[in-house]
Structure 1
Amino acid sequence: MTDGQARSILFVDDDAAFSRALTRELQRRHFRVVAAPTGGDAIAALATMAPDIVLLDLQLPDMSGLTVLAAVRERQPAANVIMLTGHGTIDTAIEAIKLGAFDYLAKPCPLDELQVRLDRAMERQALQQRASLLERGLTPPDPGGAIVGESPEFRRVMDLVARVAPTDSNVLITGETGTGKEMVAKLIHARSARRRKPFVVVECAALQETLLQSELFGHERGAFTGADRAKPGLFEVADGGTIFLDEIGEVSLATQVKLLRVLDTSTFRRVGSTTEMKVNVRVLAATNRDLTAMVRQGLFREDLYYRLNTIAAVLPPLRERRDDIERLAAHFVASFNERFNSAKRLGPGVVERLTAHDWPGNVRELAHVVEAAMIVCDGDEIRPEHLPAALRAKAPAPVPTANGAAPSGPFQTLEALERSHIERVLAATHGHRGQAAEILGISERNLYRKLREGD
């Protein structure tokens, strides 16, 4: 066997002596074997077991092996069927392959040859399982339950998403960093007819131009130094589904030309190839940059902008939907309680300080603040002192004076507030910089840089 896990075999053959001998040998090789002398017995066994492999004689006393094959394909499609043939039935065995059998073997079958067939069947099944896992990983669940908000500004966006999701239109999702652009893209995909097909995310800002083109379109062997094998691109991986181009504003003009061609013709060439490839992909894109200004400056192609911007979904910053802050905070507390196996809650004065904050990092920043507060909090109640310094100092919005100006007061610099917050998170994580960076929503490299700058 190729692995240490016992595999199950349904062995269908009416030759009692042959069946007993081969069953003993398969059990000696650590297979779990269920023997069925007739087609009817085999079909009945399919109701109580899910065999990995079916060894199936073509000639059975009560029905054709092809009839049993059809039943296996219908009731246990994941099983690999190996047909056992006698003299003069090779043509029928080939017909069985066309009907979905994995392989065939002539009787009497040498054990070594049978083992080779069994190993191949198990390898094929392992590949199918890995492909299934990959497909499930590329088809995220509907994130609707994680998208929280009832403010009018937010509901307008959700209403638009509900209308556009079932269509095949391209959507450009814009908004500040942390407003939830990727979450909205996943929601659009999950509510579309493509929901059972891949959802592929491309981080456009994370790759250099040459690497980005290779990731998007794939490359042939020898296309560039280090390309020792051909590689499919993400447009190929997303075929039939949705591709999400995050931070599309960071893409170079050269790559924009190739993206425009895919949008116009649904065709592209791998890097280093002259062969046209055709795909059926819905394109969603997102950016926190002003693409119309970039078009005026010649930094973004106008024709690509209009192709991407068939539908525009503009996500409001959190400061423009303050009514949702308490709902979001409660949602994050519940989520982290489940993750940390705790039962913490927001205490008096916390919501007021959260609502007074302007949230430049938007929903992502709020999530990190709630997580950090829950880590710092020793008891069951999150209090204002568990919040970062920038929020602890912030009482509810001041009442304007008679001339309309807000009263002045002592303020820290933004640099000092940031440093204080970083130190508090580091203390809460006992100096674990990787965990602190994750809570702060920045990379470890960025955290190291900020710490050096403060020294």
Structure 2
Amino acid sequence: MTHALIVEDDMDSAATLKDLIVSEGLTVSTASNLFDARKQLVLQPPDIVLLDLRLPDGSGMDLFKDPELLANSEVVLITGHASLETSILALRLGAVDYLVKPLNFKHLQGVLSRVTKPAVMKAEVAHLTAKIATSGHFGQLWGRAPSMQRVYEQISRVAGTGVTVFITGESGTGKEVVAQTIHELSRRRKMPFLGVNCGAISPNLIESEIFGHEKGSFTGAERQHQGFFERAAGGTLFLDEITEMPMDLQVKLLRVLETGRFMRVGATQSQETDVRIVAATNRSPMEAVTQGRLREDLMYRLNVFPIELPPLRERLSDVGLLAEHFLRQINEQEGRVKTLTPQALEQLSRHHWPGNVRELRNAVHRAYVMAHDDQIDTQWLPPPNHAPEPAWAAAPELPATSPSTARPAEPALSVQRPQNDATCESVVIPIGATIAQAEYALIMATLRHFRHQKERTAAALGISLKTLYNRLKLYAEDQGDGPD
């Protein structure tokens, strides 16, 4: 039977907590100070320790100074308030979660239902780590490049905890795959993993989709609807493209993260939730805050444990491994085995991949379809290219712009063609230009270069087509033109 140790100096709180834990079918012992806690840890090592931070003879953190005492126990901190500092400190010292006073019973139930021996979690991570050298993958992620090894290390560290994760990276780098890998290595793996793209849902429906709604709460609400927070109960909720979420809904999300409670649209009573949040964006979080796309307080609440995914062009040594992995999947789906020639693998590794791993997967699938025999050669693969190098040079002073103007004035740029390259053009932007001005200049110049072919423009810029359309729409609205 699972055994719990409560380390709490408030006798009433300890007694209430003990009754709740006993009702869940666990055995419980209590300690009111560090001295008693150390004694209990030696006499009857618990499966889980609920540890108050403030004790009469010191801080609850002092127990971590002797790793052997807690080697076979999960530690859940009990704190009077949730904060970013508490989360980071808990993670650094080895705690897997924390409970906020007054205790959320549903959260407590979730913590107790997920108790797993630390040794079991470490063995699973060690098994996955061993596979990197032999097969080149970690969970659902593939790659042996040093930048990916760092990502695997971060996942290994955070997966077994309950803290919020914020994944950043360009479109197509595999942010959802990272979120799924975190879920599969977590104590929540037996519960649902749900993903929602905040930019793909109508602003009029997104609140209902995330929080649910009551019957009759608005026109067309013919029945009660469970939102993502209810459907992902006990599991992981992945919020992709969080910067596309409307600002008023970001306020409500922040409230849920702080209180662990939410309300359906049209409801009068709030509900408890026990969901782990993993968020992601293809923007720089700080730039999104500056541009008014992400609330600063929400950004800090989400950014407890950041993971940045490298673009594929920065780990070209993994292209061959990824290509063969995708080809194996296609072979299995289609029932016919095809292989990539050495020349094809070489050409793939010399492409820039502005669309990252997603573009590589699509390129392999297309080549599979177009190949006449069982050998895939270079004919239907993207040609070799290189990442564009921006050229910065002095230029006339930019016109002044108002801080309230959403689209910056177009800087005095020029498009030049280097003498030694008949096909490569560069954008010259004056020193002192703002990031917004430089972005506008680069997007418009690239769009003109590709004769307003938006798919090619987005691929060359390394952004999603949706992002390009959003930028162009914003520029057009500020000029008083139509969306085109």
TM norm structure 2: 0.53
Checking the alignment, whether the CA contact within 8 Å between 2:352 and 2:386 is kept in structure 1 is no
Cα distance in 1 between the residues matched to 2:257 and 2:319: 38
2:204 corresponding residue in structure 1? 210
Asked whether 1:408 is paired with 2:421, we answer yes
Q: What amino acid is aligned across from residue 340 of structure 1 in structure 2?
A: E
Q: What amino acid is aligned across from residue 214 of structure 1 in structure 2?
A: S
Cα distance in 2 between the residues matched to 1:366 and 1:418: 21
- Tell me how far 1:168 sits from its aligned partner: 0.3
Asked whether 1:172 is paired with 2:166, we answer yes
Q: What amino acid is aligned across from residue 159 of structure 2 in structure 1?
A: A
- Residue 262 of structure 2: SS of its match in structure 1? strand
1:361 corresponding residue in structure 2? 355
**How is 1:312-331 mapped onto 2 (pairs within 5 angstroms)?**
312-331=306-325
Cα distance in 2 between the residues matched to 1:346 and 1:409: 32
Q: What amino acid is aligned across from residue 347 of structure 2 in structure 1?
A: R
- Tell me how far 1:408 sits from its aligned partner: 2.6
Q: What amino acid is aligned across from residue 151 of structure 2 in structure 1?
A: V
Cα distance in 1 between the residues matched to 2:253 and 2:329: 38
- Tell me how far 1:372 sits from its aligned partner: 0.3
Cα distance in 2 between the residues matched to 1:291 and 1:211: 24
Q: What amino acid is aligned across from residue 143 of structure 2 in structure 1?
A: G
Q: What amino acid is aligned across from residue 367 of structure 2 in structure 1?
A: A
Per-residue CA deviations over 1:168-197 (Å, capped at 9, x if unaligned) read 010001100000000000000010000000
Paired residue for 1:198, among 192, 198, 216? Answer: 192
1:290 corresponding residue in structure 2? 284
Checking the alignment, whether the CA contact within 8 Å between 1:217 and 1:236 is kept in structure 2 is yes
Cα distance in 1 between the residues matched to 2:298 and 2:288: 12
Cα distance in 2 between the residues matched to 1:409 and 1:351: 28
- Tell me how far 1:266 sits from its aligned partner: 0.6
Cα distance in 2 between the residues matched to 1:260 and 1:406: 54
Identity of aligned residues (%): 45
**How is 1:14-93 mapped onto 2 (pairs within 5 angstroms)?**
none
Cα distance in 2 between the residues matched to 1:384 and 1:406: 30
- Tell me how far 1:326 sits from its aligned partner: 1.1
Per-residue CA deviations over 1:292-343 (Å, capped at 9, x if unaligned) read 1121233321111011110000000000001101111111122211112222
**How is 1:268-307 mapped onto 2 (pairs within 5 angstroms)?**
268-307=262-301
TM norm structure 1: 0.56
Paired residue for 1:228, among 193, 217, 222? Answer: 222
Per-residue CA deviations over 1:106-136 (Å, capped at 9, x if unaligned) read xxxxxxxxxxxxxxxxxxxxxxxxxxxxxxx
1:188 corresponding residue in structure 2? 182
Change (3 A) 1:308 1:165: same
2:69 corresponding residue in structure 1? none
Cα distance in 1 between the residues matched to 2:455 and 2:353: 17
Cα distance in 2 between the residues matched to 1:420 and 1:379: 30
Q: What amino acid is aligned across from residue 421 of structure 2 in structure 1?
A: S
Checking the alignment, whether the CA contact within 8 Å between 1:253 and 1:300 is kept in structure 2 is yes
1:335 corresponding residue in structure 2? 329
- Tell me how far 1:348 sits from its aligned partner: 3.6
Per-residue CA deviations over 1:273-308 (Å, capped at 9, x if unaligned) read 110111111000011012211212333211110111
Cα distance in 1 between the residues matched to 2:452 and 2:374: 26
Change (3 A) 1:286 1:160: same
Unaligned runs of 5+ in 1: 1-141, 398-404, 422-440, 447-455
Checking the alignment, whether the CA contact within 8 Å between 1:352 and 1:396 is kept in structure 2 is no
Per-residue CA deviations over 1:248-285 (Å, capped at 9, x if unaligned) read 01011100000001100010111011101111110000
Paired residue for 1:149, among 125, 143, 147? Answer: 143
RMSD value, Cα: 2.9
- Residue 236 of structure 1: SS of its match in structure 2? helix
Q: How many residues align?
A: 273
Paired residue for 2:152, among 134, 158, 167? Answer: 158
2:343 corresponding residue in structure 1? 349
- Residue 312 of structure 1: SS of its match in structure 2? strand
1:131 corresponding residue in structure 2? none
Paired residue for 1:241, among 200, 219, 235? Answer: 235
Q: What amino acid is aligned across from residue 349 of structure 2 in structure 1?
A: T
Change (3 A) 1:217 1:396: closer
Checking the alignment, whether the CA contact within 8 Å between 2:168 and 2:309 is kept in structure 1 is yes
Unaligned runs of 5+ in 2: 1-127, 129-136, 388-417, 426-445, 457-463, 470-484
- Tell me how far 1:420 sits from its aligned partner: 12
- Tell me how far 1:145 sits from its aligned partner: 4.7
Q: What amino acid is aligned across from residue 248 of structure 2 in structure 1?
A: A
Asked whether 1:251 is paired with 2:264, we answer no
Cα distance in 1 between the residues matched to 2:453 and 2:315: 24
Per-residue CA deviations over 1:35-64 (Å, capped at 9, x if unaligned) read xxxxxxxxxxxxxxxxxxxxxxxxxxxxxx
- Residue 349 of structure 2: SS of its match in structure 1? helix
- Residue 205 of structure 2: SS of its match in structure 1? helix
Change (3 A) 1:287 1:342: same
- Residue 386 of structure 1: SS of its match in structure 2? coil
Checking the alignment, whether the CA contact within 8 Å between 1:249 and 1:287 is kept in structure 2 is yes
Instruction: State which structure, 1 or 2, has the greater radius of gyration over its C-alpha atoms.
Output: 1
Cα distance in 2 between the residues matched to 1:417 and 1:335: 35
Change (3 A) 1:417 1:336: farther
1:47 corresponding residue in structure 2? none
Cα distance in 1 between the residues matched to 2:420 and 2:343: 21
- Tell me how far 1:226 sits from its aligned partner: 0.5
Checking the alignment, whether the CA contact within 8 Å between 2:142 and 2:321 is kept in structure 1 is yes
Change (3 A) 1:419 1:309: closer
Change (3 A) 1:291 1:340: same
Paired residue for 1:373, among 354, 357, 367? Answer: 367
- Residue 298 of structure 1: SS of its match in structure 2? coil
- Residue 379 of structure 2: SS of its match in structure 1? helix
- Tell me how far 1:209 sits from its aligned partner: 2.2
Checking the alignment, whether the CA contact within 8 Å between 2:289 and 2:295 is kept in structure 1 is yes
Cα distance in 2 between the residues matched to 1:147 and 1:254: 35
Cα distance in 1 between the residues matched to 2:170 and 2:465: 16
- Residue 353 of structure 1: SS of its match in structure 2? helix
